[in-house]
Each structure stands twice: as C-alpha cells, then as structure tokens.
Amino acid sequence: MSSRVVVLTGASSGIGRAAALAFAARGDMLVLAARGLADLEKVAVDCDGDVLVVPADVSVRTDVEKLAQAAVERFGRIDVWADTAAVMAYGRFEDLPPHVFDQVITTDLLGPANVARAALRVFRSQGHGTLILCSSLVGHITAPNMAAYSTAKWGLRALTRTLRQETRDAPDIHVCELIPGSVDTPIYTSAANYAGFVGRPPPPVDSADRMGAAIVRLADRPRPGLSVGATNRFIELGFSSMPPVYDALVGPLMSRLGLSRSQPAPPDDGNVFTSRPRTEGGRGRLGRTAVGAMAAGALALSATAAVALRRGLRRRVFTRR
C-alpha cells in the first residue's frame, strides 16, 4: 500500500501514541497533535519518519482548523484522521465541580466535533478520506462516578452515526467509530478526581498497542464501528437487556474494580484543563479478591441474561401460537 497522510489528535500518549507508532511502521506520513509539545516531540522521534508536530487542543476550534491547514500545506492532502484525544473525571455528578464537568464535555464531545468539521471539509474537497473517532464502551453503557465522560461519549456516538448518514452521498468518505473497553493508558491516573481514590481500568485490560492496531485496521478497511474488548458485547447485553440487574451490580463492581482503594486521591482537576507529562500505563494491580469479585459479577450477569433470553423466546413462541 502506498503511503498515506495520517493526522492523529491525542497522539502524545495512550492509544494515540500507539496508533502513531503503528502507522509509522507502515511508512505513512504523520501529523501528530496534542496539547503537550514535549511529549509529542518524543513520539515523533520514536516514529522515526516523515512527521509533522503541531501542538493543538481539540477543544479550541481555531487550533483544529490550523492543524488541518498545516497538514494540507505540508503534504497536500489528508487521507486518514484519527482522533483519540480525551480527558476523564471521576466522582459522583453532584460532587464534580461544574467547570470540570463542562470541560470534559467540551474536550470529549465538542473536540471530536471540531475535528470532524475540519476533516470532512478537507475530505469533501479532495473526494476521499477516512475519519476515525475514538469512542468508548462507556459510550454504550453507563457507570457510577463517570457521568461526564459517559455523557460525552454517548453524544459522540450520536454524532458519529449522524455523520455516516450525512456522508452516504460520498462513497469514498468513511466515518468510523472505535469502541475500546478497558485499556492500559495514563487517562485513569491523570483524570480529574473527586471520588476519593485513584482510578484504574477494570479488568480485563487491553494494551494501547492493540487499540493502535485496531485504528490501522479501520484505516485499511473502513467499517462503521469496531468494538475491541473481550467483554464489551457481554456488558452491553447486560446493560440493555436487564437494566435492574445491571444497575444493582455496576455500582459495587465499579467501586471495587474501577477505583484503587489502596490509593486515596485528594480532590484534583487532573489534566482536564492543562496538559501534564505523559506517564507510562494507567492500571493498578488487582488482587485475587478483586478478580474474584469480577468473576462473580460476570457469572451473575450471564445467568440472568440466559434466563431473560429464555423468557423472551418463550413469550415469542406463545404469542405466535
């Protein structure tokens, strides 16, 4: 495959960094963007290729417009634009400061909207392009202490679906949604925290490299959505088919598996408003008790799902008779 011009927003760490390395290994030409210049430059060195570094905040529309312009001026086109930029905040909705909640929504929903607007403008002018927006499993379910992040990702899901509908007249323009489950990235430990304990990805946890490879797959063979996570489908089934059971279990499981009870955290805005230096990884260690709790919760959900499905099938049979 000939080299593509790939713009990556959120490229300084986590999934964005992994995607940058994966595209670089393919020989693609890269435009890397994020808020933190120092970390971006480190990623550019690791990519070891034709790389343009542009500091930009996706929540600032003019930054994104200048990024698109810089990419086209340097390489003449944009073939793929993948946006993984995101921030997170832990805490009950009533405990989150309103300005923190608002900024998470701005970065995680209005940021991708800024990216989509700039990317589609270029794609329309050149007649082709692939836009990949990084959603989350939490954009298909909900969990306590993650109201801001989940609200933004649900909105992003709606935006992505709408964009696919609106680009049906352009068969060479593709809008894709990546749906990661738990991923070992710094987003958890760098998040704003008003929950009292450091956040961590609940198991099973995938590597950022796996998600980076998934973004490359979407660029190679665009499809509407790609869910990557061993339990994603199962958790979505529990959320949609048996809300009372899901709601009863998700609180205790989130408290036990999504927060590190051994690491208290004072109230802090994290990196919601300003970039912080990248740290490797984001997950805390889980003991046997925590893994056992997850297994017990999964078993309860699967048993209830089986019963619910059987009842649903029986009702359909009797109704038809």
Q: Which residues are catalytic?
A: 149
Distance CA 261, CA 222 (A): 41
How many residues does the structure list for the chain? 321
Peptide bond into 204 cis (omega under 30): yes
Work out the burial of residue 59: count CB atoms within 10 Å of its CB; fewer than 13 is exposed, 13-18 middle, 19 or more buried.
buried
Q: In this structure, which long-range contacts are made by residues 56-62, counting pairs with CB atoms below 8 Å and at least 24 apart in sequence?
A: 56/9, 57/111, 58/9, 58/10, 58/33, 58/83, 58/85, 58/107, 58/111, 58/112, 58/114, 58/115, 59/103, 59/106, 59/107, 59/110, 59/111, 59/114, 60/114, 61/114, 61/117
Tokens of 91: 């805490």
Distance CA 108, CA 128 (A): 25
Work out the burial of residue 165: count CB atoms within 10 Å of its CB; fewer than 13 is exposed, 13-18 middle, 19 or more buried.
exposed
Tokens of 140: 């298909």
16 contacts 36 by C-beta, under 8 angstroms: no
Distance CA 284, CA 287 (A): 10
Distance CA 122, CA 265 (A): 43
